[in-house]
């Protein structure tokens, strides 16, 4: 073992006593006693870089054909104090080292840099930090933060973004975006910090704010989690654009977001095709696509370039003349050759895995070269580059293989409405035997690209299922793998597993998984559905408000002097006044206002008018609200829906459910990590009969119609089935988001040309037109039936209104009968005639269909006339007011205490009058019944004349 190992053994007891501060020093035993020690500082986040460090040193020694480098690992506990970490580093420096490498990006090692500066030992850092102060023996291999932000700024400026969101993970990194606020271009930037693992609230807020452009400044491991949650909220559609700040985007599998067609862009510092063997393969900067398998991370590449830089620099010097000094930190020792080594390193230029490595006068990396990549189906495509000297440069678009004039072999399976056999197919030949959405779309694409195709029906083999035992695919996918077709037509779902063995075009239709189930039997309409617009509580409150406001206006009218009025304004000397707002009239006024009908009672005082106005405003709002909702409640068809979502389906056991076995929907539930979907999968997988096997006699749609069964299927096919079978319906929304596309052979030369044409057809709404032709046009059975059913209302919908009307008629008849009997009963007491006789006389008069004269009723004698009416003058009757209850006023020119009535129409006589009978005989002034001055008559007298009178009223 080396002296470092011996020192470890001697000091082991002492170091073990320091809690969690043990420096694990492992020297790599290499041949040659003149090996120079290179210290690598690692923390918990960079432990995986030890392998890269070891491989890099071994590779450097092999390249230089000498073992002049030896690596030393120092594990730094970031929870320790600066004093403990400094003491730990000083122990290592006492053994004599040539350089110290900070091989982690998460934490700045300022203490280590200070110690190395004081001891004049070169300090090399690979961390993503804003190194403003470049003094001392300091070198940074990672591109300066200001340089990277300038690259992001140039790209955002090129895209002409004026408003975007920065989703950041660490708050201390916000200062690096100062470039966006000091430039002449004005940006509206929204900052949101990503905390924890659930970002739905932040993303939903941004969606509600209409934000479509995002900069994701987070760790590489966080990128996919953010995009997955964004996908759940439908924030990965073509309208959205994401710029990733991570330089390791090639190490993230973003294939699941490709078919949403969101634009995802990032920078790359390294060649993603490199591996950890650190071979000197030239960098590939202009590739059309890159693979993400066994990708090398930026950290590993920087470790390799750091060791290579150090090895090349030391090789230029006479490494044998270097004598690392055993530094004692307490004695403030320095290494005399440290500055010479630093100058050799800073002036060395190499071509490494991260491109050309060179430094400026401050030890910061210069001549930065970054690739600009976008996510595509096969990985990442290089769309341009950025350099610190020249800025942005964009390359030409991908070259499409010519397809014009080609004859493609198209394979398919019959599947409504994508591919169907025409009814008269036996009289047709070739492609003309088939029709459907996929056929129309392929014909349109072939017309655009000027190629032809020969369609072959493969029978009931399905789209393709992967056999995990034999690792083989069947169906259309298996045919493409076997190169027995160039393109597969139909509603083929694009999935990650299928993308591993074949290629897909751009999706021509967006879809998701939903539930197909039978419509529940409609319940008979409620007779009193007209009461449903308001709840029971609201109806009770309206009734209570009616009673309260009626009582309020009654009290206001009693207290307000302006509601008391003279019923006969001709006689201004009258002392009798009336008030129209009795309890009955108050309620009647409020009821009339509530039903928008009005009444013959109107408020006179300001207080009662204010009360009435507020009530009218209340009734206006309530009636308008009621009317607005009434039509919906009268026309709505009440149903008993047993399930409303996938969650409801998972909670019950009465209804069976399943999917097509082996298809994309089957794999979705099988591989899902969602708790509800896992529960659904377990329930489906209990019975093989829940699944519809390829080539089965009974399809999933038939099982839904004939059994108590719910079927999971893609939304376009479900929508078509609902239009064809009126007894079926869709339950809930979409469970996921994916797309249909045409399948081609892996690396097919025709895929890009077809994809480009599909995008063009989508932009000019051609795809939507073709879809409407099959989903809403041809062979549609149920379209518009729901609307026709609600176009008119039957008696069952409004029957309750007729019941209310009949009930009101019956109640009014009963009240009228009670009033009639009560009135006749009072007359019977006065006339002393039999009750039945009075009833007959009153009933006979009531049945007369003409005339309006009141019934002539006998009255008891008054104090003015004798009991025998004939003893009174022939032209005058005097009766008391009290027994005579009903005498309408027909004139306003007389006081309220005198009335002159005949057997025919009534007339009103003022206090001063001249009565001339038909015989022109004037009533004597002294008649015995009344003095000459009528004003002396008591107020309760009534004057009746047997004959027709002529009446003059005098002022």
What's the CA gap between 683 and 647, in Å, rounded?
A: 13
537: number of Cβ within 10 Å: 8
What's the CA gap between 792 and 815, in Å, rounded?
A: 37
Q: Find out whether 476 and 412 touch, Cβ atoms under 8 Å.
A: yes
Helix axes 583-594, 606-635, angle to 10 degrees: 40
Q: Find out whether 157 and 185 touch, Cβ atoms under 8 Å.
A: yes
Q: Is the peptide bond before 679 cis (omega within 30 degrees of 0)?
A: no
Tokens 């209104």 label which residue?
A: 801
Tokens describing residue 417: 């409405």
The reply, when asked if residue 665 is annotated as ligand binding, is yes
The reply, when asked if residue 261 is annotated as ligand binding, is no
What's the CA gap between 519 and 516, in Å, rounded?
A: 10
Provide φ and ψ at 940, rounded to 5°: -100, 15
The reply, when asked if residue 292 is annotated as ligand binding, is no
Q: Find out whether 460 and 466 touch, Cβ atoms under 8 Å.
A: no
Instruction: Give Dmax (Cα) for the chain.
Output: 164
What's the CA gap between 733 and 730, in Å, rounded?
A: 8
Q: 3-class secondary structure for 124-159?
A: EECCCCCCCCCCCCEEECCCCHHHHHHHHHHHHHHH
Q: Find out whether 798 and 634 touch, Cβ atoms under 8 Å.
A: yes
What's the CA gap between 911 and 839, in Å, rounded?
A: 37
What's the CA gap between 265 and 214, in Å, rounded?
A: 10
DSSP-derived secondary structure for 25-93: --B---S-TTPEEEEEEE-GGGTTHHHHHHHHHHHHHHHHTS--EEEEEEE--TTS-HHHHHHHHHHHH
Give residue 502's Cα distance to chain centre.
34
265: number of Cβ within 10 Å: 18
714: number of Cβ within 10 Å: 22
Q: Which helix (H) or strand (E) holds 675?
A: helix 675-685
249: number of Cβ within 10 Å: 25
**3-state SS assignment for residue 667:** helix
What's the CA gap between 665 and 493, in Å, rounded?
A: 9
Helix spans in 145-215 (H): 145-159, 179-182, 200-208
Residue among 73, 137, 70, 145 at smallest CA distance from 105: 145
Q: Find out whether 910 and 898 touch, Cβ atoms under 8 Å.
A: yes
Q: Calculate the CA dihedral of residues 430, 431, 434, 436 and round it to 10 degrees.
A: 180
Q: Find out whether 37 and 23 touch, Cβ atoms under 8 Å.
A: no
Tokens describing residue 643: 């399930």
What's the CA gap between 85 and 21, in Å, rounded?
A: 8
What's the CA gap between 694 and 697, in Å, rounded?
A: 9
What's the CA gap between 89 and 123, in Å, rounded?
A: 12
872: number of Cβ within 10 Å: 20
The reply, when asked if residue 714 is annotated as ligand binding, is yes
Query: Exposed, middle or buried: residue 375 (CB in 10 Å: 0-12, 13-18, 19+)?
Result: buried
What's the CA gap between 622 and 741, in Å, rounded?
A: 54
What's the CA gap between 599 and 601, in Å, rounded?
A: 5
The secondary structure of residue 654, as a DSSP letter, is: S
Which residue ranges are tagged as binding site for L-glutamate? 493, 498, 665, 714
Which residue ranges are tagged as binding site? 493, 498, 665, 714
């Amino acid at each position: 073992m080396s002296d470092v190992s011996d020192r470890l053994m001697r000091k082991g007891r002492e170091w073990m006593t320091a809690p969690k501060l043990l420096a694990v020093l492992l020297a790599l035993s290499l041949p040659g006693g003149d090996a120079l020690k290179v210290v690598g500082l690692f923390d918990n986040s960079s432990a995986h870089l030890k392998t890269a460090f070891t491989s890099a040193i071994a590779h450097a020694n092999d390249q230089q054909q000498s073992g002049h480098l030896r690596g030393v690992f120092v594990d730094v506990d970031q929870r320790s104090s600066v004093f403990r970490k400094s003491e730990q580093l000083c122990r290592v420096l006492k053994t004599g080292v040539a350089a110290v490498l900070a091989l982690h990006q998460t934490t700045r090692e300022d203490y280590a840099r200070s110690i190395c500066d004081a001891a004049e030992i070169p300090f090399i850092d690979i961390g993503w930090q804003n190194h403003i102060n470049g003094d001392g023996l300091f070198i940074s291999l990672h591109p300066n933060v200001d340089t990277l932000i300038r690259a992001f700024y140039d790209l955002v400026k090129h895209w002409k973004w004026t408003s975007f969101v920065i989703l950041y993970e660490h708050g201390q990194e916000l200062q690096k975006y100062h470039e966006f606020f000091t430039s002449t271009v004005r940006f509206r930037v929204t900052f949101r910090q990503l905390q924890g693992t659930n970002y739905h609230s932040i993303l939903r807020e941004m969606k509600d704010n209409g934000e479509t452009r995002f900069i994701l400044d987070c760790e590489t491991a966080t990128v996919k989690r953010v995009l997955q949650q964004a996908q759940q909220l439908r924030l990965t559609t073509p309208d959205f654009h994401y710029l990733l700040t991570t330089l390791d985007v090639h190490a993230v599998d973003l294939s699941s977001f490709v078919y949403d067609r969101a634009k995802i862009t990032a920078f790359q510092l390294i060649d993603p095709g490199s591996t950890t063997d650190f071979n000197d393969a030239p960098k590939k900067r202009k590739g059309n696509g890159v693979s993400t398998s066994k990708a090398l991370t930026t950290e590993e590449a920087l470790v390799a370039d750091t060791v290579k830089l150090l090895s090349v620099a030391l090789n230029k010097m006479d490494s044998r003349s270097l004598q690392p000094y055993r530094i004692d930190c307490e004695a403030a020792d320095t290494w005399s050759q440290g500055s010479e080594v630093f100058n050799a390193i800073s002036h060395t230029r190499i071509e490494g895995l991260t491109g050309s490595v060179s430094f400026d006068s401050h030890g910061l990396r210069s001549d930065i070269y970054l690739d600009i990549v976008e996510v595509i189906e096969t990985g990442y495509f290089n769309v341009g580059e950025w350099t610190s000297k020249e800025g942005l440069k964009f390359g030409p678009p991908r070259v499409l293989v010519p397809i014009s004039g080609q004859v493609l072999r198209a394979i398919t399976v019959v599947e409504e409405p994508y591919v169907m056999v025409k009814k008269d197919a036996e009289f047709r030949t070739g492609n003309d035997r088939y029709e459907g959405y996929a056929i129309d779309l392929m014909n349109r694409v072939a017309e655009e690209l000027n190629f032809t195709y020969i369609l072959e029906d493969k029978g009931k083999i399905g789209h393709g299922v992967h056999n995990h035992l034999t690792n083989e695919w069947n169906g259309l996918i298996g045919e493409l793998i076997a190169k027995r077709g160039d393109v597969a037509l139909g509603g083929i779902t694009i999935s990650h597993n299928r993308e591993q063995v074949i290629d897909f075009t751009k999706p021509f239709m967006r879809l998701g998984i939903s539930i197909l189930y039978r419509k529940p039997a409609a319940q008979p309409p409620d007779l009193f559905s007209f009461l449903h617009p308001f709840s029971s509580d609201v109806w009770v409150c309206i009734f209570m408000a009616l009673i309260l406001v009626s009582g309020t206006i009654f009290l206001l009218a009693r207290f307000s002097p302006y509601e008391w009025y003279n019923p006969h304004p001709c006689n201004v000397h009258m002392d009798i006044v009336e008030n129209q707002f009795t309890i009955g009239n108050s309620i009647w006024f409020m009821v009339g206002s509530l039903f928008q009908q009005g009444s013959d009672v109107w408020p006179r005082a300001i207080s009662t008018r204010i009360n009435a106005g507020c009530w009218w405003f209340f009734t206006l709002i309530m009636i308008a609200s009621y009317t607005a909702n009434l039509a919906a409640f009268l026309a709505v068809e009440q149903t008993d829906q047993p399930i409303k979502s996938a969650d409801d389906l998972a909670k019950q056991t009465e209804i069976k459910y399943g999917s097509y076995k082996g298809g994309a929907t089957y794999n979705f539930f099988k591989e899902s990590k969602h708790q509800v979907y896992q529960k659904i999968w377990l329930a489906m997988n209990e019975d093989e009969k829940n699944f519809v096997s390829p080539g089965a006699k009974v399809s999933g749609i038939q099982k839904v119609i004939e059994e108590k069964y719910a079927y999971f299927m893609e939304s376009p096919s479900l929508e078509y089935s609902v239009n064809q079978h009126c007894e079926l319906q869709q339950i809930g929304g979409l469970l996921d988001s994916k797309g249909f596309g045409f399948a081609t052979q892996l690396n097919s030369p025709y895929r890009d040309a077809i994809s480009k044409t599909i995008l063009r057809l989508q932009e000019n709404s051609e795809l939507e037109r073709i879809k409407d032709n099959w989903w809403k046009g041809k062979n549609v059975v149920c379209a518009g039936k729901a609307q026709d059913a609600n176009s008119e209302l039957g008696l069952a919908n409004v029957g309750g209104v007729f019941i209310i009307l009949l009930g009101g008629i019956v109640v009014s008849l009963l009240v009228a009968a009670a009033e009639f009997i009560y009135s006749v009963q009072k007359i019977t007491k006065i006339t002393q005639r039999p009750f039945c006789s009075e009833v007959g006389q009153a009933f006979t008069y009531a049945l007369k269909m003409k005339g309006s004269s009141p019934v002539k009723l006998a009255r008891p004698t008054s104090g003015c006339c004798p009991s025998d009416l004939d003893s009174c003058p022939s032209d005058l009757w005097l009766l008391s007011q009290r027994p005579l209850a009903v005498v309408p006023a027909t004139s306003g020119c007389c006081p309220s205490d005198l009335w002159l009535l005949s057997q025919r129409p009534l007339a009103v006589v003022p206090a001063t009058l001249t009565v001339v009978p038909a015989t022109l005989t004037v009533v004597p002034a002294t008649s015995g019944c009344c003095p000459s001055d009528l004003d002396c008559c008591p107020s309760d007298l009534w004057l009746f004349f047997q004959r027709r009178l002529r009446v003059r009223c005098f002022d």
